[in-house]
A = this chain, B = another copy of it.
Amino acid sequence: MRRAMAGVLRDGQVFVPNPAEGSTLLNRGSFGEPRSGGGVTLSLLEAVYLAETERLQIEADGAAVPFRDLLRRANVREASFEIRYLVYRDLRQRGYIVKESTPPIDFRVYPRGGAPKVTPSKFGVRAISERWVFDLDALEADVRRAAGARKSLLLAVVDEESDLTYYAVRFVNPRGRATARPGSPPPVAHLIEDRAMVLDEDEALRLHANGFYGRMVGRRLQLSLLETAHLAKIGAIEVRRGDTNRKVPFPALRTQARRLQPDFDLRLRAYEDLKARGIVVKTGFKYGSHFRAYEGDPDRAHAKYLVHALPGGHRGMWPEVSRAVRLAHGVKKELLFASVGDEVRYLELERVRP
C-alpha cells in the first residue's frame, strides 16, 4: 500500500505542505487549491474523503487526528456536512472531478478526465436530505440560475438510509397538435353530481371527435368535471341539471365544482394552460397525478407526460416528489410539475444516473 500523505488541520481547512504531495493531489483528481509557499489547501470534504480512502493522514497541534475525530469536527464545523459528504463521495467514486461551489449549488462536476479551469463543468449538483422541505420557488430560482450559466442542474437527494437518487431538473414548454373548434349550437350536457353526459349520440360523437373530449359510454359521452367546466366556460357546451333540465350557468357550475374538488381552481388553471398549448389532457387518477398529457390523439399514442399542478410557492415533502417521479418513470412518462402562478411554468424532474 502506498504511503499516506501528511496533512495539517487548522481552522476548518487541511494543509498539505509537501510540494510534491500537493502536486499529486492537484494533478490526480484536482483535489485542493494551490497554496502560496507550496503545497495545497484542502477543504474538509476533500480531507475527509482522502482520509477515508487512506491517502491522507491528518494531525492537529502536533498530534494525529483519528478519522472519527476528523469526521466529528467536520460535522460540528459545517452545516449538513454529512449530507454533502455522501453526495461528494458518491460522485468521486463514480470517477468525476468534484469541486465545491457557491450556494445554492453545492458542487461543480467535471467529466472524467476533465479539469477545473480547463474543461467546462458538466453539471451543477445540489445535495438535499429527503427530510428537507421541497420548496418550489427556490427550486425554480435554482434552475433559472443554472440555465443562465448554461449548466444543467442535478439534485442529489439523500434518503434516510444514506442512499442517493439523482434528479435532472429543467423547464420545459410542452406543445401539442390538438385544436378544438367548438360546434354551434353547443351540445347540451346534463350534469349529474361530479360528471356530465351528452345524451344525443350525434352531438356526443362530434364533441368527442373534436378535441378528444370525454369518453363514450355506450352511445353517450361522459365528460369529467374539469372538461365540463372548461367546455362550458368557452361556450362549447350548454350545461343543464340532470334532474330538472334547468340551465347551469358557469358561476354556479364553478361553485359546485369547488365544493366537490377543493383544488378545482388550481386544476382548471393548469388544464386550460395545457389546452391552450394544443395538449390533449386526460385525468392522471390511475397514476396518482392530476393529468396525463398527450401531444396528439390519445387513442394512437401513449401520454408523453404526467402533470401535477402545484400552487406557485408550494412547499412540500421530498418523498412526495420521489414518488411522483418514480411512478412516471415506471410507466415511461415524463413528470412535469406545473407551477401555477401568474403564469403556468412546467418543471420537469427526471431520475438519472450521473
Contacts and interface: CB of A to CB of B under 8 A. Distances in A.
Q: Count the copies.
A: 2
A326 interface: yes
A193 interface: yes
Interface in A48-104: 52-53, 67-68, 71-72, 75-76, 80, 82, 86, 89
Contacts of A324: 288
A16 interface: no
Given A161-B222, A217-B89, A330-B331, A285 B130 contact: yes
Interface residues of A, number: 58
Nearest to A219: B52
A75 B243 contact: yes
Nearest to A157: B285
B217 A162 contact: yes
Given A52-B218, A225-B160, A326-B287, A243 B195 contact: no
Q: Is the interface of A mostly helix, strand, loop or mixed?
A: mixed
A242 B72 contact: yes
Nearest to A199: B68
23 contacts: A72-B243, A75-B192, A76-B242, A82-B193, A86-B217, A159-B286, A160-B194, A160-B195, A160-B224, A161-B214, A161-B215, A161-B222, A161-B285, A162-B195, A165-B285, A285-B322, A287-B326, A288-B319, A288-B322, A288-B327, A289-B323, A323-B327, A327-B327
